[in-house]
Structure 1
Amino acid sequence: MNGKQFVSIVALFILVLTAFASDGYSYNVVGDHGVSSTFGIKETKEGQRVVKKRTVSASSLTQVIDKADVFHEQYPKVRVVATGYYAGYESTGKNPSHPSYGITYSGVKVRRDDYSTIAADLRVFPLGTILYIPGYGYGVVADKGGAIRGHKIDLYFETKQDVFSQWGKKSVDVYIVKKGEGKVTEAFLNSLNEKGIAAMAEPVSGKQQTE
C-alpha cells in the first residue's frame, strides 16, 4: 500500500465515522447480555457469544458513502450514460414465470445491495468489473444487453417504481474500482456484501471464489 492509498483510506474512515455520527448511529453495551449497534451492524451479546446482523439498508449506505466521494478520486473515472432497469417485462422482456427471470448473463441473480448487479458493454467493462456510481453506490458488472453499447450501463433496481423515482436515465462520472476478469459468482457477490463498505479499504482479489 502506497502513501496515497493509506491517506485515502484514513480519510474515508474518518468521513464515514463522521457521517454515521451525524445520522444518529451509536454504540451501546449493556452488561453481559444486550443489543448494540455500530455502523449499521446489530450485535446481540449473549455471554461470550456475539451475533452480528446488518441493519442499514443499501440506500442508507449509499447516502453515507456519497459523503466520502473524495476516497474514489484515486480510481480511474469515466463518463457514462446510466439507465435504471428492473427484472420485469418492460426492461427485460421476461415475466416472473420465465425460467431465467432475474438471472443475469453471468448466471448470478440480480440484486440491489451494498454491491448491486449492473449491466454493461462487456467489451468496455468485463464481467466482474466493480464500479462506484455516485448516487447509486457500488455496481458489479454481471449482465449485458442488446442496447448497451460503448459507455452505457444499466443499474438494477427492485421495482419499476424504483427505477423512475430513484434514477431514470442520466449521464454520470463513474469510478473503476476494479477491472473484471470475465467472471462473476454468487460467492463473490456475497463476500463483497458481507464486508459492506469495509470492502473499500482492502484490495479486491482478482480471483473469485467458486460456489
Structure 2
Amino acid sequence: MKIKSNGAINLIYILVLLMVVVGFRTIISERQKQISMMYERNNQLLEELKALQHKKEILEGILLKDKKRINGLEEEVERLRVIRARVTAYSPMDNVSGICADEDPSITATGTTPTIGVAAADPDKLEYGTKLYIPGYGNAVIEDTGAALRRGKDLRLDIVMNSHKEAVEWGVKELDVILQRRN
C-alpha cells in the first residue's frame, strides 16, 4: 500500500511539475514573442533614426550654406552703404576764390596734406577717416571740413582737385556715394 500511496503522490507531483513546466514554457514563449516584437520595433526605430540623421546632415549642409551666404551679405552690407550727397570740389593749393582754407591751405582739419583722394564733410555727419567711393572721382577719405559743409541737414561733400579750373568744371553734383567699411 505504501507503494500505491507513494505512487499516487509521485504522480500528483509529476502532474504539478508538468503543469509548472507547461506554465513556464507558455510564459517563456510569450516573453520570446515580446522580445521578438521589441527587436523588430528596435530595428524600425534604428532605420527611422538613420533616416532622421541623413535628413539632419542634409539640413545642416543647407543651413551652413545659408549661414555663409547670410554672413557674406551681412559683410557686404557692412562694407558698403550708399548715401545721397551733394558733392562739390575745392582746390586749396590754387585758392583763387580765397575761401578754401581757414588758415594754412596746405593742411587739412586732420593735419594731412590736401591731395586728390581727400574729401571734406561735416564731421558730425561723417567721421574723419571715413572712406568713400565717389562716382566720377574715385576713392576718397574724409580728412577735412568747411563751414559750408556744416550748413543744413543734407549731406555735403567737398573733394580736392588739383586746380581751381578742375573744381569749377566739377561743379555741383547730387550723387550716390558709397561709404566703405573702415579698416
Task: State TM-score, norm by structure 1.
Answer: 0.45
Contact 1:132-1:138 at 8 Å conserved across structures: yes
Residue of structure 2 in register with 1:142 after alignment? 143
Deviations 1:83-122 (A, max 9, x none): 011111416355xxx972221000000011xxx1110010
Q: Name the SS for the 2:140 alignment partner.
A: strand
Answer whether contact 1:85 1:91 (CA < 8 A) is retained.
no
> Which of the two has greater strand per residue?
1
CA distance in 2, matches of 1:148, 1:81: 10
Give structure 1 stretches of 5+ with no counterpart: 8-70, 180-203, 205-211
Whichever structure has more helix as a proportion of its residues is: 2
Q: Extract structure 1 runs of 4+ deviating beyond 2 A.
A: 2-7, 71-74, 91-94
1:154 aligns with 2:161: no
User: Between Structure 1 and Structure 2, how many residues are aligned?
Assistant: 109
**1:169 matches 2:176:** no
Asked whether 1:82 is paired with 2:87, we answer yes
Q: Aligned ranges for residues 48-197 of structure 1 at < 5 Å?
A: 75-87=80-92, 88-90=95-97, 92-93=99-100, 100-112=104-116, 116-149=117-150, 150-165=154-169, 167-179=170-182
Percent of pairs with identical residues: 28
Q: Supply the distance in 2 between the matched residues of 1:105 and 1:111 (Cα, whole angstroms).
A: 13
1:41 corresponding residue in structure 2: none
Q: Is the 8 A contact 2:91 2:100 kept in 1?
A: no
Residues 127 and 90 (structure 1), Cα distance of their counterparts in 2 relative to 1, 3 Å cut: same
User: Which deviations, in whole Å up to 9, do the C-alpha atoms of 1:62-83 show, x marking residues without a partner?
Assistant: xxxxxxxxx9996111101000
Aligned-partner Cα distance in 1 for 2:78–2:171: 25
- Relative CO higher for 1 or 2, CA cutoff 8 Å, sep ≥ 6? 2
CA contact (8 A) 1:85 1:155 kept: yes
In 2, Cα distance between equivalents of 1:128 and 1:159: 24
Which has the larger Rg?
Answer: 2
What SS does structure 1 have at the residue aligned with 2:97? helix
Give CA-to-partner distance per residue, 1:47-74, whole Å, 9 cap, x none. xxxxxxxxxxxxxxxxxxxxxxxx9996
* 2-structure distance, mates of 1:131, 1:172: 12
> Partners in 2 of 1:91 and 1:99 — Cα distance?
11
2:79 and 2:88 map into 1 onto residues whose CA distance is 25
Change (3 A) 1:122 1:91: farther
